[in-house]
Chains A and B, each alone.
Chain A
Amino acid sequence: MTNPSCTTALVVGAGIGGITAALDIANSGFQVVMVEREPSIGGHMAQLSETFPTLDCSQCIMTPRTVEVGHHENIRLHTYSEIESVRREPSGSYRVRIRRRAAYVDWEKCTGCGVCQEKCPFKVESAFERGIGQRKVIYTLSPQAVPNKPVIDAEHCRYLQSKQDIEAGRAPAVDKQGNPATPKCGACAKLCPTGAIEWEQQDSVLEEEVGAIVMATGYDMLPMERLPEYGGGELRDVVDGLAFERLLAASGPTAGKVVRPSDGEVPKQVVFVQCSGSRDPERGVPYCSKICCLYVAKQAMLYKHRVPDGQAYVFYIDVRAGGKGYEEFVTRAQEEHGVVYLRGKVSKIFAQDGRLIVKGADTLSHRAVEISADLVVLATAIVPRATTPAVAGLLGVPVDENGFLVSGDEEMAPVDSCVEGVFLAGAALGPKDIPETVAQASGAAAKVLSLFQQRVAAAATVTA
């Protein structure tokens, strides 16, 4: 094979797994195409405050890598994009069609100055802030976003919605003076110093030819509405683990101040509920979500750092702390920070007089336990990203009954898929923490490099 494209790699998903794999491959001299759904890269790690067990600032350890990706001469980054189709060529390479959604901003002209975002008059719920905070209709996910270019949320944009209404005849075509009607707002376009707002922008489709694919589409969390007995999706002061991270994060909507979403008060009694939806074959997911025991210990300790006179409780069934330094980490929470661990799965959470009543148990002391909490954090089950099964289907990679990717050999080759040239990494395979994700990503990258190296060597033999 002398086709140079066959040593270009595609990395699907630009969380820490995808980023690691892409950098390993790119730094070895090969070209990498990255495709990411969100407007910028970083995945869930970008939402975290600190990481366990080191309590490193998540942004601080990740930003050097995201910046490197953004500048790397060997990486072509397509964000706000999705894989539309994958075709295996006779040569063995893959022809991939990528759809880039209309952002209504010309990223070539945009300098990332941020005036549009600052001046946009309208705010909406931010998925990134997970119910804790809002964003503007024209937005970047964070100030450190890579690329630091905004997109417009068309569904909530006054200009685009009113423009569509006028064009569809739902709104009058002329105004009261008889002039052609103009859409509402448009503040960003008026203020942009480089005229980068592009109201007529469409989705664009491009094709890439690649010789290997790494799938690292990551995870999501079980929707809160699946836990009505805990007030999930209904009680404002019952939040999930990622939402609590946004409360803790210095760059978050409360600048790192832990407050109740309902009234902004500082909570003095916080209850953490592990296994919210996990290990629950009857009504949730049957598997253990692996990371919650550690991140709850982390969040309880960070809460105590911020609110030293607060009390944290953790309801657990088991404490699973098998990683390096993990047992010691949890022990620190219990012994040095006074976090009270209660062994019992919470039955119900309801509101009473502005607080939350948590009905749990402590099987170790043979007591049913009731706590009046100011804030409840549910460690909700880790599930695959909703788009993972579809993307896997395009690549011919099977998923298991829980929607996680199936390895070629779960025991001996976890980052191989059963499809030639397609490799898998990270939480898309199953719940896992950052060190394991990075290790698998490097493993997948090594497999890609090995494949490419063989092709380079074969090509050299041919031409020799």
Chain B
Amino acid sequence: MTSTERVYGYFPGCTLATTAVDYDASGRAVAAALDLELREVPDWNCCGASFPLSAENVMNFIAPARTLIAAQREGQDLATLCAVCFHVLKRSDSYLRTHPEAADRLNAFVTEGDYDGRVKVRHLLGILRDDLGWEVVRRHVAAPLQGLRAAPYYGCLLLRPEAEMELDNPEAPKVLHNLLLALGAEPVGFARQAECCGSTLLVSAPEANQRLSTAVIESARSAGAMIVVTACPLCKFNLDRAQEGLPAAERLLVAYFTQAMAAAFGLAEHAGPVCPLQAAA
């Protein structure tokens, strides 16, 4: 028996492997600090970046299914950080499990093995809350984020639809709030904490995207937030980009929840915009 008690297959996803390496690195660092082993699933591929919403589209499930099959081979549940990857993988798994004829058709096509539905798709937030408990997280806090008013921003795909995502109540979510409490910070709930940042409208309708992200930032700001904490690299990008026109001093910083954890755990190099000095403000 190794000292690592908990082992999860880890799916970083394309964005964390390239443009959001800071999310990936801080995630791995805090997981290691908590004795959670995140073992990257070999031969993973892009989840598809959007959950197939049409019937008769088994082809679209192949991308996420291959990753689920790879996790099956490794014999572990699958942990994710990116909210969109979590959404796509979890809902794909749910769909294939409840539509056996679709799973059969998929399995007839895929050569890497048969999807059998035994892998559980998890998000690190759920793992922290349900497998470890906040008390364990609290014990690892070396530099509590005292005085840091942090707005927990849940976005859309992390929580909805509630029955399939199985993470938290989208109308009154608490998991990021409670994480921030465990880190010694002061969570600041705000009206648009689970409203859309604009998502892929970034590419197809940038002005609408700007309006949505700006509304989220303004909502967090008016609630008294000093920083916004998120679990999605697209949310972070959109919220940062919406503020590019503002002078630097007026921008509300956006960080990943893993960066907040790193700051609190004393792992400054992974803390990103979250800084214990800022917490002293």
Determine whether A and B are in direct contact in the complex, meaning some CB atoms lie less than 8 angstroms apart.
yes
Binding site for B on A (CB under 8 A): 228-229, 350-353, 357
Contacting pair B172 A352 (CB below 8 A)? no
A225 → B minimal CB distance (Å): 9
B54 within 8 A of A: no
Assembled-state Cα–Cα distance A372/B222 (Å): 16
Mark interface residues in B160-182 (1 if CB within 8 Å of A CB, else 0). 00000000010110000000000
Contacting pair A350 B191 (CB below 8 A)? yes
Query: Which B residues lie within 8 Å of A352 (CB)?
Result: 191, 222
B221 → A minimal CB distance (Å): 12
Contacting pair B171 A228 (CB below 8 A)? yes
Contacting pair B171 A229 (CB below 8 A)? yes
Partner of A351, one of B169, B172, B191: B191
> Assuming A228-B169, A229-B171, A351-B191, what are 7 further A-B pairs, CB within 8 angstroms?
A228-B171, A228-B172, A350-B191, A352-B191, A352-B222, A353-B222, A357-B191
B185 → A minimal CB distance (Å): 21
Assembled-state Cα–Cα distance A229/B191 (Å): 10
B163 → A minimal CB distance (Å): 10
Binding site for A on B (CB under 8 A): 169, 171-172, 191, 222
Query: Which A residues lie within 8 Å of B171 (CB)?
Result: 228-229
Query: Which B residues lie within 8 Å of A351 (CB)?
Result: 191
- In the complex, 10 of the A-B residue pairs with CB atoms within 8 angstroms, ordered by the A residue number, are A228-B169, A228-B171, A228-B172, A229-B171, A350-B191, A351-B191, A352-B191, A352-B222, A353-B222, A357-B191
Query: Which B residues lie within 8 Å of A350 (CB)?
Result: 191
A231 → B minimal CB distance (Å): 10
What 5 A-B pairs have minimum CB-CB distances, sorted nearest first?
A350-B191, A228-B172, A228-B171, A229-B171, A352-B191
Assembled-state Cα–Cα distance A435/B137 (Å): 60
Query: Which A residues lie within 8 Å of B222 (CB)?
Result: 352-353
Assembled-state Cα–Cα distance A357/B215 (Å): 14
Query: Which A residues lie within 8 Å of B169 (CB)?
Result: 228
Assembled-state Cα–Cα distance A350/B215 (Å): 14
Assembled-state Cα–Cα distance A350/B172 (Å): 12
Assembled-state Cα–Cα distance A357/B191 (Å): 10
Q: Which residue of A lies closest to B193 (CB)?
A: A350
B105 → A minimal CB distance (Å): 30
Assembled-state Cα–Cα distance A351/B192 (Å): 11
Q: Which residue of A lies closest to B162 (CB)?
A: A283
Assembled-state Cα–Cα distance A229/B169 (Å): 11
Assembled-state Cα–Cα distance A353/B171 (Å): 21
